[in-house]
Structure 1
């Protein structure tokens, strides 16, 4: 945003606040934006804000807090020649005073650092795979033993029926009925054994339990199928600015979802997790393979969703 337009925006927001009889402390309480950022917006000093993404998010929240139509207000001052910088919400946090703050710029991680950070996840993944393999081996062994035992019981029943037929012709009808009953039981046992060996339906998502920390929620063990999955980003009450990155920091999608629209983002099979940065969480709904994810944003607009995948 250029300086002249910034000054005009600040003056209009300040006048709207004064008309409402509100102080900067009141605006800070309702928007959770630091008072010094609010003062910078009113004075048109947008260079004191954390970045271009926060300029749009903070101005929108301020406009809503003073009773203005935020969508119309943003379109009024929109400049198509400017492209907002990609948001970096990785260091955003909510301190003890319930105010959103951003962290300092962090140096880019080296390959060694990334490898070191990924090691715990790799170890956990190997342990989980080993446990699953052991459980599968035990189940397969149990199913095989049950099938063998059923076969032996069937052979004993047939042998017994032959002995009875030779020793007494009078009881042939009873023996035949017993053989039929034994064969029916054997078939039922085999059918049950086969049904036990059928694997669970593939492709289902298990989100697990999300843990809220500051201005973020993290799902630490999301079970996904061993293939690419799709994430749906829907704006349910106003437009929303979002960015989706994988666990390595690669941006999969970044942009604005307009009101009532849905953006679908494909997450590759190789991704071990995702991070979703949201600029208007109150108006946003996130789903994974059409299964709704509970953001638990606690009335905070700027929000971060983290997911770690297990396959």
Structure 2
């Protein structure tokens, strides 16, 4: 057990928390809590989550995460980007540019010149085709002679046709007015999903004016997610990767509890409508509670 693990375990025991109690408070799996106390970070989903889980552990047992990170920065792993020296990344970049890259740079100007020449040829061809088409159109117009029409030869329009036309127009207007009078306005009520309470990193939403409760999760990057129903039963718990989706039908339940390990990489959809996080997504973990009130129970 590391010095950090001893410190965290002592704080947990001072709170009279068992590992099971701490799991219920933090929503972090028990095996990860044991790994933190024993300093076994290899079982974690990634170094990013090691820091996030330690931060959540500290907050649950009353320790200041910033102080712990500073005191035990030698034990807590950093993220991948922090571990790459700047000088090493620059050396690797220079090596990658040399050799084949210089050859590619020599070929690019030739390709650009070839593309330019092809574009000019195409433009000339289009111009010539349009010119030929315009000349042919003008020749057809010149060959056509205007036909003189004697006004005396035109048949006179009978008054009966005008009366029939007026009657049809008035009938159409009457029918249109009748449709407007008999048409009843359609009433539709959109679902209501709004935040009603925020405590720390936990936000409670209320879902109303709907007879269904369908929940969808979509990952835009790596994210650890857990979903519980109103009976605290685990519906899903684990990692989601870029492009992964999870759907849940909670129509028979009245609450969903979500633990989002990386809010910036996780979209939450309720009945096809995107849920807007109340807390900015730069907060690593967020707990989302959705309380569902079926439309029947509101009447």
Normalised by the size of structure 2, how large is the TM-score? 0.43
Q: Which has the larger radius of gyration?
A: 2
Normalised by the size of structure 1, how large is the TM-score? 0.42
